């Protein structure tokens, strides 16, 4: 079948369709760009929400990583501070025996040289332990503190204050600021008033 021949004055089908659309949209001015944006709005909202969730997850992961790193650093420092604590606690009885030997040598009259030698060893050991972080607890003449001292006995004394330490039976020590052994002491009590 032959296609109808159109004259020059007759508009084409495409031109007629264009005119119809134009007449329809005169009351509804919508351009192509706003139509595309309207169609893409749900996808954009979904992607924006997903981006926000991922950003929040990233921030939480970073915070968890920083907290873990800080915790590991603290634990590493704590382990290094306490690494020698076992050694120091093992040496303490040796230190006590040196002090007892020195006391026994002072009581004997012919053992002066021995006493000086043992005293030098004791001072050397104290210096080595002090370099490693061991510090003695001063107790004699102090007020009794149950956090630092262990009472091994009580003496009734008029010349001392209540709860004053009158004798140190065994020295107490701190290692890097932490109490490793309390001082064993004898504490003064005032006589009861009659």
Model confidence pLDDT, tens digit, residues 118-173: 787 788 888 878 887 889 998 888 898 888 898 888 888 888 888 889 999 989 99
pLDDT-based confidence at 10, cuts 50/70/90?
A: confident
Is the Cβ–Cβ distance between 121 and 98 less than 8 Å? yes
The rounded percent of the chain whose pLDDT value lies above 70 is 84
- Tell me the backbone φ, ψ of residue 129, rounded to 5 degrees: -65, -35
* β-strand partners of 135: 174
- Of 57-66, 85-94, 165-174, which gets the smallest average pLDDT? 85-94
Distance CA 114, CA 108 (A): 10
Helix ranges (H only) for the chain are 13-25, 32-82, 85-107, 112-131
């Amino acid at each position: 079948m032959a296609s109808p021949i159109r004259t020059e004055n007759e508009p084409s089908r495409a031109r007629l369709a264009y005119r119809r659309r134009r007449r329809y949209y005169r009351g509804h001015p919508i351009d192509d760009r706003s139509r595309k944006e309207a169609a893409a709005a749900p996808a954009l909202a979904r992607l924006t929400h997903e981006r926000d969730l991922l950003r929040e997850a990233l921030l939480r992961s970073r915070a968890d990583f920083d907290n873990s790193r800080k915790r590991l650093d603290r634990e590493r420092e704590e382990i290094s501070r306490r690494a020698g604590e076992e050694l120091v606690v093992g040496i303490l009885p040796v230190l006590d025996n040196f002090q007892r030997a020195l006391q026994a040598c002072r009581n004997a009259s012919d053992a002066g040289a021995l006493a000086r030698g043992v005293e030098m060893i004791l001072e050397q050991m104290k210096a080595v332990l002090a370099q490693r972080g061991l510090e003695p607890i001063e107790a004699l003449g102090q007020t009794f503190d149950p956090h630092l001292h262990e009472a091994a006995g009580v003496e009734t004394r008029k010349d001392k204050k209540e709860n004053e330490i009158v004798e140190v039976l065994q020295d107490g020590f701190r290692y890097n600021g932490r109490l490793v052994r309390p001082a064993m002491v004898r504490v003064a009590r005032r006589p009861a008033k009659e």
